[in-house]
Structure formats: structure tokens, C-alpha cells
């Protein structure tokens, strides 16, 4: 009896062990299959991207640019920046390199970046990097060639873009522009450039914001990023971390130190691509012209005219003999569409119109009297009678034709011609702004073409001579703040400019 009991117990033990082992094995197989399924699903949703591989493909197409400027273009404080001085001392102490110790006349170089866009040698960079250049030298990454002499093909101050070209017997590496319409805040990006002459520097970040209007005289739709951008990064690419394609052209930073504070800006590919194509074909940019001045539609305006939401641009003025006047657009209309493109915010209207080719037949959708109306319109070349839209400037009335002052503006004396051209009131005295340099102090603080400067600090402005003298006094005094009395239309107002605040073009 005991023997039988022992046999049953032993068999029962073996059976339990077998069943337990089988269950454990099945559980492991299930867990393994489940884990593999999750891993496979994750890989499909968010495949692992090796940024180093992407950067390695991009780097050969990014170039260093060194520009010798004409003497009158060099600012007195070009090399007085404390951060630049510290860096030069470091390079001289560590590597025995002194960029100023080259003999001959001391004509400081402007350092910038750029990138190749085709194998024949066309290079995109910033206008402010090559503006006023006497010599442009391009150095390729790891090419073994000391430098290529580059030719300036064309430049566009409104977008701060320029196109240069080098000659090479080889097919050169190049980058493609990306589609930014699907770009989202938070997308990963990286910048490549030549900060402080340290070529081939890569920094990583994200898209911090879109559609930033940082340039009061330009078209405004810049990309903001926290990827570190410093002086010398200008003209380099801001790239998609997933594809390596160019999302924008690095152009400016907000800084109080001369270095990166994590607020950088790039001209988006959607603006850069058509501008570069025109520069490549004709050497200049001619934009579409509508001939209106518009203002923002806020909640109160929208409610008062019967719009469900604040969209479009409210027409404040129609230029005589313009496409807008010919099509029947009136003061008080709200332009809500150009062709099939909706005008979600007023600031987008100038860019959308600018990108429409000259001679194109399209339509403008307007809101008038509680109804949406479509008006046929033919886009024309800018008219010189509209100084806010014309890309060509009448230099005959410009007396102070240098924007390299502390404000970054060109000014003209007020006479009958400028009164008519800029619609200046008869009682206005001073000087009129005829050009605002992109990303200058004037641009940063909202000074626009057509504004009249009547006073700088305690000095009354009567003409360009007194204006230049006033700015020289500001520079000599090293004052942190400058107060300007400005007249815009019928309105006079004081604006205070912080002179040591820099919207840096990271040259």
C-alpha cells in the first residue's frame, strides 16, 4: 500500500513539474512574442534615427565664407565686441593664430556661412554677409583646397538672402530645401555653420515658434529655434534632423551678450526657394504687387463688420492706378483670400502677394457689407509711387545713403518730392526714413519706411546733417537709451531704443 502511494506521489510530482514547465515555457513564448510585437510597432511608429549619420551627409555641402568689405562698409566697432576679443585671445594663446596679424592694411573680414544648392557651385547665404563685399572667399569642408574666390550673383535685402557662385571642376555636394508646410513647433532641428570662424560646428535644438515677424521692413515669416546660433552662423542651414533637408537659412539671433541665448531665427525654405530661383535666373527679385496698405483685423473690428472671426487684412489705403484699384478693392474691405490661399493673419498677405508671378490672373476674396465677394485681379510689377512695396529705390532724393549707422536706416531730407512719395503731412519737419536695414535696431523697434524722425534725445532734427550729428553724439556718449520723436501719418510719439540690445546678424 505504501509502495503504491509513493508511486502515485512520485508520478503526481512529475506531472506537476511537467505542467509547470510547459506553462512557464508558454508564458515566456507569449511574453517574447508580445515584446517583439511592441518593438516592431514602436519601430514603425518612430524609427530610430542616428543624427550623426544625417549630419555626416549634410556637412560636406556647408561652406565657410570670408568677406573683405569695402572700407566705408566697415563699422568702427566691428572688432570691439568683448566676446570676439576673448575668442581671438584664446585662439592666439592656444593655437598661435591671430586673425589680425596678416600684414598690410587692417580691413577686418566678415565671417559667415552658406550651403551649396547644386553641383555646379551655387551657394546660398545671407545678404548682410556679402553686402558691400570687395572679396568673397569660400572654403569647403574637408576639400583640401584653401579657398575659392566667389562671384556675387544676386542679393535681396527684404529677405536677407544672397546667391554666390564658385567654379570647380568637380561635382560638388549639395542640399535640398524641405517642405515647411508640415513643420510643427517641437520638431527637432540642427544648425551647421562657422561661428567665430570655427567651421563645421553643429548645434541641435527644436522649432520654438513659426511665422515670427522680426523684420519690420521685410516679409516676415521666420522660423524661431533654440539651436545655438552665433556670429558666423549667418547664411548656414537649419536642417530637419530626420531628413537633413534645409528648413531655413539662419539669419539672426536675439542677444544681450553677443552670443547665443537660445533665440535664433531662420528665413524659411518656403520664402528662400523662390527668391533664390529668381536670383539665379535674373540676379534680382521682382515681387508681385497689389497696391494696398492693410492693418490687423482684431476681435473688435471683426465683430463690428460682421466677421465670425478675425481673419485677413483690413484695407486702410488703396494706391492709385494699382491692381487693387483696378479690380475694385476699396478702403474698408477685408481681404480674406488671394487665389485659393486663405489670409489667416494680416502679416501673411504681403508674402503671399509677393510670391505671385508678375502678370498672373487670379482673384481676391474680400468681405464687404456682410458678404464675401470675389474680384478678378492681375498682379503687376511694383509701382515706384508706392514706396512701401517697391523693391527699387530712387536714390536721387537720398542724401544720407548709408545704413551702417547705429539705427541702421537711410534718411532723406523732406522736400516736395519726398512729401508726395511718402505722404508726409505739410507740418512735418525732420528727416524721412527711406530704408530700414534688415534686422537692425530700427527694424527691431518698429521704425518703418515713411516714418519722420523729428528729434533724437534733446536735439531737434532739421535735415540729414543734423540727424547724422545726433547719432554721432549718441555713439560718443555710450548712452544705453536713445529717445526718438517719431511722426507716422498724423500721429507723433516718442519711442525709446535700447542701444546695447542687439538683434544680431551673427556676422
User: Can you read off the three cell numbers belonging to residue 76?
Assistant: 568702427
Say which residues have a Cβ less than 8 Å from residue 265's Cβ, sequence separation at least 6. 212, 214, 222, 223, 224, 225, 250, 251, 252, 253
Say which residues have a Cβ less than 8 Å from residue 407's Cβ, sequence separation at least 6. 440, 441, 442, 447, 471, 497
DSSP secondary structure of 266-329: EEEHHHHHHHHHHHHHHSS----B--EEEEE--HHHHHHHT-SS--SEEEEEE-TTSHHHHHT-
Q: What is the 3-state secondary structure (H, E, C) of 214-239?
A: CCCCCCCCEEEECCCCCCCCCCCEEE
Closest residue by Cα to residue 150 from 161, 169, 135: 135
234 is catalytic: yes
DSSP 340: T
Contact indicator for 502, 256 with CB cutoff of 8 Å? yes
72 is catalytic: no
Say which residues have a Cβ less than 8 Å from residue 187's Cβ, sequence separation at least 6. 206, 207, 240, 241
Pick the catalytic residue from 128, 322, 389, 451: 128
Is 94 exposed, middle or buried, given 0-12, 13-18 or 19+ CB atoms closer than 10 A? exposed
Pick the catalytic residue from 66, 113, 208, 234: 234
128 is catalytic: yes
Separation CA 507–CA 501 (nearest Å):
16
The strand pairing partners of 414, in sequence order, are none
SS3 246: strand
Pick the catalytic residue from 113, 131, 156, 160: 160
Query: What number of CA atoms fall less than 13 Å from residue 48's CA on the CB side?
Result: 4
Q: Which residues are catalytic?
A: 128, 160, 234
Amino acid at each position: 500500500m505504501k509502495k503504491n502511494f509513493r508511486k502515485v506521489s512520485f508520478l503526481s510530482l512529475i506531472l506537476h513539474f511537467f505542467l509547470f514547465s510547459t506553462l512557464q515555457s508558454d508564458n515566456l513564448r507569449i511574453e517574447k512574442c508580445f515584446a517583439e510585437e511592441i518593438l516592431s510597432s514602436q519601430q514603425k511608429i518612430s524609427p530610430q534615427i542616428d543624427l550623426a549619420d544625417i549630419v555626416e551627409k549634410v556637412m560636406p555641402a556647408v561652406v565657410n565664407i570670408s568677406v573683405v568689405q569695402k572700407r566705408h562698409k566697415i563699422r568702427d566697432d566691428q572688432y570691439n565686441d568683448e566676446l570676439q576679443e576673448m575668442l581671438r585671445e584664446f585662439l592666439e594663446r592656444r593655437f598661435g593664430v591671430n586673425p589680425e596679424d596678416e600684414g598690410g592694411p587692417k580691413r577686418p573680414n566678415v565671417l559667415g556661412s552658406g550651403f551649396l544648392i547644386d553641383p555646379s557651385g551655387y551657394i546660398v547665404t545671407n545678404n548682410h554677409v556679402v553686402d558691400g563685399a570687395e572679396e568673397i572667399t569660400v572654403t569647403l569642408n574637408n576639400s583640401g583646397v584653401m579657398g575659392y574666390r566667389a562671384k556675387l550673383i544676386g542679393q535681396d535685402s527684404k529677405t536677407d538672402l544672397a546667391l554666390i557662385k564658385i567654379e570647380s571642376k568637380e561635382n560638388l555636394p549639395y542640399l535640398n530645401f524641405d517642405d515647411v508646410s508640415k513643420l510643427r513647433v517641437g520638431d527637432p532641428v540642427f544648425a551647421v555653420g562657422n561661428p567665430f570662424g570655427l567651421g563645421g560646428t553643429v548645434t541641435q535644438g527644436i522649432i520654438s515658434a513659426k511665422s515670427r515677424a522680426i523684420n519690420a521692413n521685410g516679409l516676415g515669416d521666420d522660423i524661431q529655434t533654440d539651436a545655438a546660433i552665433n556670429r558666423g552662423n549667418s547664411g548656414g542651414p537649419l536642417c530637419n534632423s530626420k531628413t537633413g533637408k534645409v528648413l531655413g537659412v539662419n539669419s539672426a539671433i536675439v542677444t544681450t551678450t553677443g552670443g547665443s541665448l537660445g533665440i535664433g531665427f531662420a528665413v524659411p525654405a518656403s520664402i528662400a526657394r523662390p527668391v533664390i530661383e529668381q536670383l539665379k535666373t535674373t540676379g534680382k527679385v521682382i515681387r508681385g504687387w497689389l497696391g494696398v496698405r492693410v492693418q490687423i483685423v482684431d476681435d473688435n473690428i471683426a465683430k463690428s463688420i460682421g466677421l465670425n472671426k478675425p481673419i485677413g487684412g483690413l484695407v486702410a489705403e488703396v494706391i492709385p492706378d494699382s491692381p487693387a484699384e483696378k479690380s475694385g478693392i476699396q478702403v474698408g474691405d477685408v481681404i480674406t483670400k488671394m487665389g485659393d490661399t486663405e489670409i489667416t493673419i494680416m502679416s501673411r498677405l504681403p508674402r503671399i502677394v509677393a510670391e505671385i508671378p508678375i502678370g498672373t490672373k487670379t482673384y481676391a476674396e474680400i468681405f464687404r457689407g456682410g458678404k464675401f465677394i470675389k474680384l478678378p485681379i492681375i498682379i503687376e510689377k511694383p509701382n515706384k509711387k508706392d514706396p512701401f512695396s517697391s523693391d527699387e529705390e530712387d536714390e536721387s532724393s537720398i542724401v544720407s545713403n548709408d545704413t551702417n549707422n547705429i539705427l541702421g536706416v537711410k534718411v532723406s531730407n523732406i522736400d516736395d518730392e519726398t512729401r508726395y512719395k511718402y505722404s508726409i503731412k505739410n507740418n512735418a519737419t525732420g528727416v524721412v526714413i527711406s530704408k530700414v536695414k534688415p534686422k537692425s535696431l530700427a527694424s527691431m523697434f518698429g521704425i518703418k519706411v515713411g516714418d519722420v524722425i523729428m528729434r533724437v534725445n534733446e536735439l531737434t532734427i532739421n535735415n540729414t546733417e543734423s540727424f547724422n550729428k545726433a547719432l554721432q553724439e549718441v555713439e560718443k556718449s555710450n548712452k544705453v537709451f536713445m529717445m526718438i520723436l517719431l511722426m507716422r501719418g498724423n500721429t507723433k510719439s516718442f519711442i525709446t531704443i535700447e542701444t546695447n540690445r542687439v538683434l544680431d546678424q551673427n556676422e
